[in-house]
Amino acid sequence: MLLLGSVLTATIVLLVFYFFWNRGREPKQVPADVAVLYQIGRGPFAPSSSPFPLKLETFLRMNKIPYMPDHSAKFSTKGKTPWMEYNGVAVADTHFCIQHLKKERDIDNNSSLSLEQKAVARAMQKMTEENLYWTLCLEMFCGDSTEAVETVMPYTGVKLWVTMQILKRVLQKEANGHGIGRHTNTERWSIAMGDMSALSDYIGDKKFLMGDIPCEEDCAVFGMLAQICWHMPGSRHEKFMRENTPNLIAYCERMKDEFWPDWDERISSGKNFVSDHEHMYFESELSKR
Ligand SMILES: N[C@@H](CCC(=O)N[C@@H](CS)C(=O)NCC(=O)O)C(=O)O
């Protein structure tokens, strides 16, 4: 017990030290107009085990923005991951990263949408990120069944146990702050099913969220659904999606094919996996600006 207590304390101290040490570091030296995407490393079955880096990286790819992943797991000044630097400016939170890139590069993936369609796309994204997301966190880290997370976490034994204890505490506290963590397991699951069904009903047999052309919000919806599809094996979410909303699986496959032709090289369990830490994507686009 004493040993476990010491391991837990040492881990917390290291995490706190790492978090503060990482703040205020100098921007990475990269050519102008290259986004540095700070994230937590590649996931085993999808390019990130977090929905938010996958969202931002999909947006960078959707717009062929030159970028360089940094997998050192530095957290943002807001204490979250991912974040980015662009022309020396650090931007935290994927929403603000995307807004910043849109402004700096004059991008609008939604220019063909009506105001009503834009409003629906936004609402779908917010439901996915601010509601459905928490049901994933609670299912993976705070539920009775944690088999899914054990399959996708890059740790075993004591390291896995300690990491799980920390994540469980942090996420349960955050979910209680949100409110969803105070519901019963049955109530939380009804929320998850409601959100997945709504996404499925809305996408219907469309190719992407708003039709034949992927829009900005597809990045966020894909980032989240990809976790259910590939990183929650055997969970209620994954079973529900496979059995009741197969169009969401097909949607994930379509987004994967559209923006991640190198998927097998970007998943850590893939036989073609290669580290792309500090690799530059879309370098040829630099000369076009
Ligand atoms: N709204 C943020 C959400 C990012 C987020 O919640 N990231 C999680 C990883 S999935 C995180 O860093 N959690 C750490 C914490 O909450 O302490 C964004 O879009 O960037």
Q: What distances in angstroms separate CA 87 from CA 30, 66, 168, 259, one per listed residue?
A: 8, 12, 37, 24
CA-proximal residue: ligand 1, atom 12 (nearest): 80
- Name the nearest CA neighbour of 208 among 105, 73, 109: 109
> What are the strands of the beta sheet with 35-38, ordered from one edge?
67-70, 35-38, 83-86, 89-92
Mutate to test the pocket of ligand 1, among 57, 81, 125, 231 (most ligand atoms within 8 A of CB): 81
Mutate to test the pocket of ligand 1, among 37, 52, 132 (most ligand atoms within 8 A of CB): 52
Q: Residue 91: its pLDDT value, please?
A: 98
CA-proximal residue: ligand 1, atom 11 (nearest): 80
Domains of the chain by range and CATH?
2-24+31-288 (1.20.1050.130)
- The identity of residue 115, as a single letter, is L
User: What is the position in ligand 1's atom list of the atom closest to the CA of 171?
Assistant: 16
Q: Residue 13: its pLDDT value, please?
A: 43
Q: Residue 24: its pLDDT value, please?
A: 52
1 alpha carbon – ligand 1 mean position (Å)? 31
Q: Do residues 230 and 223 lie in contact, with contact meaning Cβ atoms separated by under 8 Å?
A: no
Strand, helix or coil for residue 235? coil
Q: Residue 18: its pLDDT value, please?
A: 53
Q: Do residues 221 and 125 lie in contact, with contact meaning Cβ atoms separated by under 8 Å?
A: yes
Q: Residue 140: its pLDDT value, please?
A: 92
User: Any residues with CB less than 8 A from the CB of 83 and at least 6 apart, and which?
Assistant: 38, 75, 76, 77, 90, 91, 92, 93, 97
255 alpha carbon – ligand 1 mean position (Å)? 22
CA-proximal residue: ligand 1, atom 20 (nearest): 93
81 alpha carbon – ligand 1 mean position (Å)? 5
Q: Residue 151: its pLDDT value, please?
A: 80
Q: Residue 198: its pLDDT value, please?
A: 98
Consecutive sets of 10 residues in the chain, 289 residues long: mean pLDDT of each? Answer: 48 49 73 97 95 98 98 94 97 98 98 98 98 96 78 83 91 97 96 98 98 98 98 94 98 98 96 97 91
Residues with CB under 6 A from ligand 1: 50, 52, 79-81, 93-95, 170, 174
DSSP secondary structure, 197-214, as one string? HHHHHHHTT-SBTTBSS-
Q: Do residues 53 and 81 lie in contact, with contact meaning Cβ atoms separated by under 8 Å?
A: yes
49 alpha carbon – ligand 1 mean position (Å)? 12
Q: Residue 148: its pLDDT value, please?
A: 81
User: What is the position in ligand 1's atom list of the atom closest to the CA of 76?
Assistant: 12
208 alpha carbon – ligand 1 mean position (Å)? 25
